[in-house]
Structures are given as structure tokens and as C-alpha cells.
Structure 1
Amino acid sequence: MSPIATPFGFASTAAEVAAGVDLTGRRAVVTGASSGIGVETARALAATGAEVVLAVRDVAAGERTVKDIAATTGNRALHVLPLDLADPASVAAFASSWDGPLHVLVNNAGVMASPEGRTRQGWELQFATNHLGHFGLAVGLHTALAADGSARIVVVSSSGHQASPVVFDDLHFSFRPYDPWAAYGQSKTANVLFAVEATRRWGPDGITANALMPGAVYTNLQRHTGGRGSGRVPPELIKSVEQGAATSVLLAVSPLLDGVGGRYFVDCNETEVVDRRSGGLHGVARYALDAANAERLWTVSEDLLAAAG
């Protein structure tokens, strides 16, 4: 397969990649859409004419964001619904309340390098939030996505996935010392593997899923790292939030991605596969695209959610 190349790149904005796209009559969900690149992702989708649902923990912040997006796009088909990805009951409630087709699901919300924490089920918090919550959401919305006929799932991962594969024998750091970056890396690898397996399983339903690295963007995501991410990114590689949302929006709306799934993008283009840490923001680890890993993770994730009731 040839890598997907587009006319867009590092400096492209969400508005630029969505220009000329008409999604009037289609529906989109963006998780974590009340801050950071989630806001600009939702704004660009609204500008295409889509009906956009902001799935957020802080409903008041979501309502403020809706007013802002409506004012800048003229689109009034905007809604806010509560969603706590670390709580399986919240995820199930969101999915069960959905009615009708869904064209785009953007799995954008996340936590990064947080102190050690666990959900009520005993799951490591980053894995639970970044992967299991979004996995449960997508599975719960599968019928809606299939009803659309050409739905897309966009999964916000990170170059941080190169910090760790999914450690199946110790997903929740029960036996190894907790490391916030290793936990983050594992969860971001899980994001890519989800895109691989979702495309394989759901491709016959017209559903494709792709993962991406948005770039180095300073947002509330870095609240556990002093506001500067890993601190290793040169200033010239820092993106604005509008630029950081561009790859998400490209995967959500561009006709260049019709029928394309199971891939990983950086700066609006598919990136290369690497067999050792790239030392930069580009590259996707081969283990993150491995079909056997992807299938195993899907089964493990189903089992964990089933056990949670």
C-alpha cells in the first residue's frame, strides 16, 4: 500500500483542510471538545454544516464552547452531552441515548502523563480514559456508525506511543513500578491498535478508523507536565490549536481518505513505520500497527468492559 499523501502539512489549519467540504445533514461527535484541539475540531466540523455533539465532562464549559462555535460558524445544530470516559456507566449511557446515524466519531479526549490513579474497577487511569472509554464508546455507537454507510472514526494518538507497546501481561501496572510516560505511551499505542482492528472488523459496514499525532500543541492536556509537554520539543515545532486540529479534521472529512482505514498520520500525511524510537514527532511503531496485537487488544478490552458490568 502506498502511503497517503495530501496537499496539506505541518502549518495547515483545521479550517483549511475542511474548506469546500459539505456535511450538511450528517452528524458528528467530538469527545473532549470543550478545550484544546477539540474545540477547533468541533468548530471546523460545524463549518462544514454538520450537526456536532460535544461529548464532555464539564457541561458548562461545553455550553460556552457551543456559543462560541455558533457565533463563528453560524451553525446552530450544536449540542452538549455529558461523557466521562473513565466511567463505563457514563459511556454506556451516552451510547444508549444516541438515536439515528452517526457519520464521524472523533476520539479526541485524553489525559497525559498523569500521576498514578485508578478507576473504580482498578484500571490504570490513562489506559482507562484514553483507550477503554473510547473503545466502549465506539462499540456502543457501532449501530449508529453502520447506519451512516460511510462513517469515519478518528483516533487522536501521539508520538508518545513510541514510549511503550501495550504490555498485555500488566496493563494496569500491578507488578511494575508506575511510570506516567510509559502508561501514556501504552494508552496511545492502544489507540492506534484500535483503529487497525476497527477497520478490519467494521470495514464491511462502511466504517473506517485512522489514528493520528496532532503535533506539539500546548493545551490543558499538559497540566501534569508543567504546561510544556515533555519539554523536548523545539519551539519551531510547536503548533497552534488550529494547526493541531488539522490532521483530526482531515481524517474526519477529506475525500482523500474515502475508504482508507487502519493507518497513522502526522502533519496531515501518513507517516513512516519505524522499528526503533524515532526521536521526533514522526513515525509509527510497527507494534502499533500489528494485526495480531490489535485483535488481542480488542478481545481484552471487551472482556474488561464485560467484567465491569
Structure 2
Amino acid sequence: MTQTLTTPFGFASTADDVLAGVDLTGTRAVVTGAASGVGRETARALARAGAAVVLPVRNVEAGNVNAAEIARSTGNPEVTAAPLDLADLTSVREFVDAWQGPLHMLVNNAGIMALPELTRTPQGHEMQFGVNFLGHFALTVGLHDALSRADGARIVSVSSNAHLFAPAVLDDLDCHSRPYDPIGAYAESKTANVLLAVEATRRWAGEGILANAVHPGAVATKLQKYMGGLQSPPELHKTPAQGAATSVLVAASPLLTGVGGRYFEDCNEAPVVRERPTGVPAGVAAYAVDPETAERLWTIATDVAS
């Protein structure tokens, strides 16, 4: 049995704490959802450590402003924006086709949460599944060759403790034959994000590509706009810098060298739980790290994303 990985960092650690002394000069990173919140702090911390960072955005004009601000605040001029709409698989393919050279860190951070009404992507997929998982899946697979050329690439699949509320319903991921539930659909998409990390590691570890999933914690961002804000107790709330800590740990810390297919929260690997917690949701659900489910989801996603 694999030993649970612990680090010197924890709940209150910030992204800069985690990357203190880490030199990422010469590496390249892609961080989705970096317009604000945890994604922006993740991009800023990686840039501050020396990485060249690309911010895929729907609004390139606003993305350029954001990239310029991160470059100014970190002293790293290699921060740029590029067009990408994760809801549209055509846009994902265009981003992938335009990419050149190796990619050392792919942070699949963007997400939407609890859309009140059933909404579909241009290709007809339920929007939360389409953006949170399927768009990132297509991006990850599309950038496989770039990740392979990095000689030790890492993928960060941003999940949530909400995954503990529901497994992915593989027979009806797009809510065609069952009622749409805003929270349930979000939870399923976040379960799928963990499964992505499990299967990507199984398939690609031999090429030096490792993937892990993370729960950033309770951070007040635009993500909760349909929820009326954070629902967790105030003492559990984190700043964006603290929320980004686990992401950059997985993306770049030497403490995770050779580690893949796992789930981290508060900068440490989470234990596997087989029952839904009755208190504050914590740990990773057994169904989210099940290798057979991960392989089946990958096969389904490959079919629908092609």
C-alpha cells in the first residue's frame, strides 16, 4: 500500500511559502481560469518563481491586461495570454494546434459552479461537465506531446471537496435521461477531474508525465456567484494565495517528485474515504480514485471529445 504523502505545509500556507527557494526558470506553464481568484494566484506564484506562464482566456484583451499586471508584479516578462474557451471543443483544438514546444506544467484550474438551469455547450454537453472536465480533458490530451517533450511534466487537476457528494454517472454524463441538479452536476464534474489525474498518470507516467488532483479549499471567488457566496464556516475560509498553495505544490514542488494519481488538500495528500463525511467534507472518495472507473471515463471522454 502506498504511504500517504505529507509535507511541511498546511491549511494556512500560501503559494509563495510552498515555492520559496524553488527556481522554475526555463520551464513553461499553462494555467486555465487565471483571470482572478485561485487561478490568478497560481499563475502569479509560478511566474514569480521564474516560469514562463500562458493564461488561456475567453477575453484576450482582458487577459493581456491581467498578464501584464502579473508580469509587472513578479518582474517576469514571460507572462502572456492566449484565446481559449473551454466550453467549445473547437476552441480547445485551436489552442492545442497553436502550441509549440514543451510544456512542463498544465494547471487545469478553470471552472463553473451550480448553474441554476441546464445549459449546454456548443457541442451539446451539460455545461459544468463540459467546462470543468471535458474541456480540460481535451486540452490535456491535446497537449500530450508537449508534456512528453518536457522530460518530467506535471498536470494539476483542480477538483473540490464537493466531489464527495456524487460519483460521476458515466451512463448519462450530460443529463439526457435524468433531472438536472445544479450541485450534483458540479460534484460529478469534480469527481471526473480526480479520475482524470488517476488515468493520466497510469497512461503517461512512463513518459515522465504525472497528474494529481487538488482541492484548493474554501476561497471566496466568482465561482460561488450562483450560491450566494461561500457556504462553509468562516474559520475554514482561505485567501486566494492560500487556495493556490496546494496547486503550486502539485505543479512544481520537489516534494512531489515522482508522485502521481493522488488527491491533495491543505498541501497534503488526503486519505481515501468510503462513506460521505457527516461534518466538513474532507478526504477523497474511493470512487474518485477507482482505476477501472478512471479508465472507463477516459474512453468515454475520448469518444465525445474527438
* Alpha carbons 1:32, 1:57 under 8 Å: kept: no
- State the shift of 1:125 in Å: 0.4
SS in 1 for 2:97: helix
Amino acid at match of 2:179: P
- Return the TM-score normalized by structure 1: 0.96
* Structure-2 separation of matches of 1:53 and 1:85: 15
Which residue is 1:209 aligned to? 211
- State the shift of 1:64 in Å: 2.0
- State the shift of 1:138 in Å: 0.5
Which residue is 1:92 aligned to? 93
Which residue is 2:254 aligned to? 255
Deviations 1:154-187 (A, max 9, x none): 0110001011111011111112111001000110
Which residue is 1:22 aligned to? 23
Which residue is 1:265 aligned to? 264
Amino acid at match of 2:23: D
- State the shift of 1:218 in Å: 0.5
Unaligned runs of 5+ in 2: none
* Alpha carbons 2:89, 2:138 under 8 Å: kept: yes
SS in 2 for 1:29: strand
Unaligned runs of 5+ in 1: none
Which residue is 1:300 aligned to? 300
Counting only pairs closer than 5 Å after superposition, residues 8-47 of structure 1 correspond to structure 2 as 8-47=9-48
* Alpha carbons 2:88, 2:123 under 8 Å: kept: no
Which residue is 1:65 aligned to? 66
Which residue is 1:167 aligned to? 169
Amino acid at match of 1:13: T
* Structure-1 separation of matches of 2:288 and 2:207: 23
* Structure-2 separation of matches of 1:11 and 1:281: 18
CA RMSD between the two structures: 0.9
> Is residue 77 of structure 1 aligned with residue 78 of structure 2?
yes
* Alpha carbons 2:164, 2:281 under 8 Å: kept: no
* Structure-2 separation of matches of 1:54 and 1:280: 33
SS in 2 for 1:154: strand
* Alpha carbons 2:30, 2:55 under 8 Å: kept: yes
> Is residue 48 of structure 1 aligned with residue 49 of structure 2?
yes
- State the shift of 1:58 in Å: 2.2
* Structure-2 separation of matches of 1:121 and 1:150: 33
SS in 1 for 2:171: helix
- State the shift of 1:69 in Å: 1.1
- Return the TM-score normalized by structure 2: 0.97
- State the shift of 1:70 in Å: 1.5
* Alpha carbons 1:8, 1:17 under 8 Å: kept: yes
Which residue is 1:242 aligned to? 241
Which residue is 1:134 aligned to? 136
Deviations 1:196-252 (A, max 9, x none): 0000000011000000100000101111112x13x2x11000000110110001101
SS in 2 for 1:79: strand
